[in-house]
Amino acid sequence: MDDFFKGKAFLVTGASAGIGRSIAKLLSENGAFVAIMARSKTRLEDLSREKEGTFLVQPGDVTLKEDCENAVRAAVDTFGKLDGLIQNAGVSMRARASETKVQIYQDLMAVNFFSMVYLFEAALPHIEKTRGHIAAVSSMMGKYSTQERSGYNASKHALQGFMDSIRIELMNKGIHVMVASPGFVQTDNTINALTEDGTPYGRMDRMHAKGLTPDKTAQIILHGLKHRKRDVFPAGPREKFGLFLSKFAPGLLDRALLRSKVK
Ligand SMILES: NC(=O)c1ccc[n+]([C@@H]2O[C@H](COP(=O)([O-])OP(=O)(O)OC[C@H]3O[C@@H](n4cnc5c(N)ncnc54)[C@H](OP(=O)(O)O)[C@@H]3O)[C@@H](O)[C@H]2O)c1
């Protein structure tokens, strides 16, 4: 990549693992300064040792408004500005809606949706100054839905709706708003997914094991930032075909997803 990211300052949430870790690492390799937020301080510190002097370790829980505000403040205090916010922290789900406790829906909305609202409020005044980027790592499940993820899909659809609104509201301020909608990516996403009572699902789904690598996903996301894309789709042909069907033959997609063994 070229100098586009050099000297720019980003905040990446969910940077202790998976896609967020790869995004933060790739940003730093391209000369950016990166505030990295997640709950696991140890894993953030491990990442920060990979390129000394470029990371700001900011342990915190994105479901807490105060932690989100602290992360933005720390990034601006340390780097003197904020060029981009990448809300990537997220948790998935594996359970039928009829069996899922209401609390699970509240927990998924807190991580996958309300975090973005908290971070947006705190980061906007700084991103207005740099005319920078506000990006969210959503999912193909923010564009269409499949079974056993009702709370996850609802939270990602909410995130998509929020991002679509702010994109229009901020259009005349020169701020770039982007949604990344990955398909299957090889991370611990399914292992950490919540089941009906909140117990982690605990295993890697077959399609995820064969999915894109987090590094490839990060490359696609950074390319989208550089070219100020509206959407990016780090996904395989199967998930992209699902997106096509959701627009032009939604009933057919429903039936295909009912028969599918894919989780
Ligand atoms: N993997 C896929 O196939 C896939 C597909 C579509 C979309 N996505 C989306 O990609 C994003 C990243 O997921 P991943 O696949 O990389 O999964 P992952 O490996 O499970 O990573 C999730 C990250 O989010 C952080 N996180 C979770 N809850 C948090 C909280 N309350 N506060 C702060 N950080 C929190 C985790 O860190 P701590 O545990 O240290 O807090 C971790 O860094 C998510 O938004 C997910 O929905 C993933």
pLDDT band for position 261 (cuts 50, 70, 90): low
- CA-based nearest residue to 35, from 58, 3, 68, 19: 58
pLDDT above 60 for 263: no
User: How far from 238 is each of 30, 208, 223, 228, 250, CA to CA, in Å?
Assistant: 31, 12, 22, 26, 15
Q: Which of 37, 64, 92 to mutate to test the pocket of ligand 1 (most atoms within 8 A of CB)?
A: 92
pLDDT digits (tens, 9 = 90+) for 180-238: 999 999 999 999 999 999 999 999 988 898 999 999 999 999 999 999 999 999 999 99
- pTM for the complete prediction? 0.98
Q: Sketch the domain layout of the chain as residue ranges.
A: 9-260
**137 in contact with ligand 1, CB cutoff 6 A:** yes
Cα dihedral 116→32→35→156 (10° resolution):
20
Sequence-separated (6 or more) residues with CB below 8 Å from residue 67: 37, 60, 61
Mean pLDDT for 161-177 is 98
User: 205 alpha carbon to ligand 1 midpoint, in Å?
Assistant: 15
Q: Does 152 qualify as catalytic in the annotation?
A: yes
- Residue 166, Cα to own-chain centre: how many angstroms? 16
Q: What is the pLDDT of residues 87-136, one digit of tens each?
A: 999 999 999 999 999 999 999 999 999 999 999 999 999 999 999 999 99
Look up tokens 């705190």; give the residue. Answer: 122
Cβ of 88 below 6 Å from ligand 1:
yes
CA distance 33 to 27: 8
- Which helix (H) or strand (E) element contains residue 22? helix 18-29
Other Cβ atoms within 10 Å of 69 Cβ, number: 16
Q: Which residue has the higher pLDDT, 207 or 174?
A: 174
Q: How far is the CA of 241 from the centre of ligand 1 (A)?
A: 24
- Name the CATH topology of 9-260: Rossmann fold (3.40.50)
d(CA 123, CA 125): 6
- Does ligand 1 lie within 6 Å of residue 61's CB atom? yes
- Mean pLDDT (whole number) for 146-166: 97
Give the residue among 132, 104, 172 at the shortest CA–CA distance from 27. Answer: 132
46 ligand 1 Cβ < 6 A: no
